[in-house]
Amino acid sequence: MRLRAWGTAVLTTVCAGLLPVAPTAGAAPQSSGPVPLQQLFNNRGVSDNATPTEADFDGLGGSLSAQDLAAAGWHPGRRLDIDGARLTWPRPAGSGPDNVVAHGQKVRVSGQGDALSFLVAGTRGEAKGTGVVRYEDGSRSAYRLTAPDWRTGPLGKKSVALPHRNTQNGQIPKRTRLSTVTVPVRPGQRIASVDLPKATGRAALHVFAVSVHAGTPGWTGTWAASTGGRMAVGPWDDRTVRLVAHASAGGDRVRIRLANTFAAEPVRIGSASVALQATGAAARGKPVPLTFGGRKEAQLPAGAEEFSDPVDFRVPAGADLLVSLHLPGTVTSAPVRTQAIQDSYVSEPGDHATESSGSAYTSKIDYWPLLTGIDVSGGPGSVVVLGDSVTAGVKSTQDGNKRWPDALAARLREQSDAPRYGVLNAAISANRILSDRYSGDGVSKDTAGVRALHRLDRDVFAQTSAHTLVMAIGLNDLRWSASSDDVEHGMREIVDRAHARGMKVIGATLTPCAGECKPAVDARRVAVNSYVRGPRSGLDGVTDLDAVVRDPLMPTRLRPAYDSGDHLHPNDVGLKAMAGAVNLADLADLEP
């Protein structure tokens, strides 16, 4: 059987800018036909700290600092991989026009994928406008672009935040930010050009880069970890971290994804390797070195990610992998996924990435820094589970891989009626749909993540070959006083945005929590579950986790045999029962 293409893209997006700002002197004249974006640059947004009057980004004399950008690793001409898209920071940055104030200009863009990615900023407020995507077959589709303001937009949606703003009177310590936003396009059709939006109102929409968000044929995501925040670590000075990851799907080649999400400065990777785990930090056989663009080393700019080059390495389905990263510099903070429910390891000083022995790894950590994904060659694609601590496996057995998405992956491996998809766990403990726990910037002890609505592009849509989303989130919103109506609206936005990207969405009902939650919370939970089970949700299927784990004698609480003891998180047995509730036929539309 084969996967049938599902859904029709609904075109929406996010971008910001200022409207009538006078183009910088020397800007290229408009052309009637589509031209490369750089030929349309008409505004200078970046200035040297010593000569801030050379740029006027917002029409009020404000600009971005060239030195701050360099400190973040955003050098002119630097390739930036962000949320699965490959963008290039403009070469003229700091020496001439470096962005275009969007007003309907025609941009030459080519390629085929599921979305367009724009690197943008708005000035004088959030900018909105409608543009057009033109395809090689002569058809077209409209898209809506909304961009956060460069000074006040939500940090949870930004790609990079800079610590200063340059003004005509010098530099001031006020944050500025840039954002990457996506526009769904018609899947399977080659793009010929894009008409930039005409922003409405007084805000201007500035575009620095645009590219096609291409698909990932030939790869399946086998493991993922969502970054919940940036926290203090170590400090690690010339150390190697050896991270343990449990593969869902198998394949004959492998690559890893590293991400410097929420960071303020670059991080340097001295070397990296992958191996099968024997016990603890010890590898089964000699670890296989990984390269990045043919190089042993890699530097991850702030907010960016990097895939390793594919390497021949057999990953058995359900195997435990060791991914080792040598960090040659001093690392005092890192983007992390906490509540890993998995021991990983940190070495004594030195590069120990290719050592089979675990003897150099003398300390343990219970979180995953920097590593956000592992892909294997071939396979039918992957399913993403968006969730909170219940999906993260909190209270399950340490190092046991008893999270319910792990049990779902095991079910898929043990049957032959449905494809054996990879299962990607996009859970963050304590995460919410509607509000941020972590601000999206800076070092913090709170690593419960930005709101799900702000992390969809990164943690769901950018996942390798992901075609189905299982939405298992919302209880924390209710526990922190959100109304059932607000949670339902947030869920519907997730569904609509996933459908716009051609993904199928399976909704999971929220599990009971009497004994930990107040009765008013449970009443709102019951209302949300009624919505999930009903037709208004727009879901393509429902996994009724509530029905599986609730106590038949008292439906507001977990079944005692499934309760870990805190009345909120199921134990290993309960998590396995949750995985058993998923109808495997719901995970994708299949044809004989």
Q: CB atoms < 10 A from the CB of 111, how many?
A: 13
- pLDDT of residue 578 exceeding 70, the answer is yes
- pLDDT of residue 91 exceeding 90, the answer is no
522's CB contacts (< 8 A; 6+ apart) are 512, 513, 514, 556
- Dihedral, 269, 275, 280, 282 alpha carbons, nearest 10: -90
Looking at residue 351, its amino acid is: D
The pLDDT-based confidence of 589 (bands split at 50, 70, 90) is: low
The CA-CA-CA angle for residues 368, 369, 372, to 5°, reads 75
Average pLDDT, the chain: 93
**Would you state the pLDDT for residue 216?**
85
- pLDDT of residue 28 exceeding 70, the answer is no
* Residues 505-559: tens digit of each pLDDT: 999 999 999 999 999 999 999 999 999 999 999 999 999 999 999 999 999 999 9
Mean pLDDT of 268-293: 98
Comparing 14-23, 93-102, 498-507, the range with the smallest average pLDDT is 14-23
Strand locations in 394-451, DSSP E? 422-427
* Residues 450-509: tens digit of each pLDDT: 999 999 999 999 999 999 999 999 999 999 999 999 999 999 999 999 999 999 999 999
Comparing 187-201, 254-268, 298-312, the range with the smallest average pLDDT is 187-201
Distance between CA 424 and CA 316 in Å, rounded? 16
- Which phi and psi angles does 579 have, rounded to 5°? -60, -35
Nearest to 31 by CA among 133, 132, 106: 106
Cβ(128)–Cβ(137) under 8 Å?
no
The pLDDT-based confidence of 8 (bands split at 50, 70, 90) is: very low
* Residues 67-76: tens digit of each pLDDT: 999 999 999 9
The CA-CA-CA angle for residues 510, 317, 403, to 5°, reads 25
**Would you state the pLDDT for residue 376?**
98
Q: What percent of the chain has pLDDT over 70?
A: 94
Q: CB atoms < 10 A from the CB of 92, how many?
A: 15
Query: Would you call 81 helix, strand, or coil by DSSP?
Result: strand
* DSSP string computed for 141-188: EEEEEEE-BTTTS-GGG-SEEES-EEETTEEES--EEEEEEEEE--TT
- pLDDT of residue 317 exceeding 60, the answer is yes
Mean pLDDT of 226-231: 98
Q: What percent of the chain has pLDDT over 90?
A: 91
* Residues 284-315: tens digit of each pLDDT: 999 999 999 999 999 999 999 999 999 999 99
**Would you state the pLDDT for residue 6?**
37
- pLDDT of residue 20 exceeding 80, the answer is no
Nearest to 12 by CA among 516, 552, 497, 591: 497
**Would you state the pLDDT for residue 217?**
87
**Would you state the pLDDT for residue 11?**
34
Q: Which two tokens stand for residue 301?
A: 């700019």
- pLDDT of residue 9 exceeding 70, the answer is no
Query: Would you call 439 helix, strand, or coil by DSSP?
Result: coil
- pLDDT of residue 2 exceeding 50, the answer is no
Q: Which residue has the higher pLDDT, 200 or 464?
A: 464
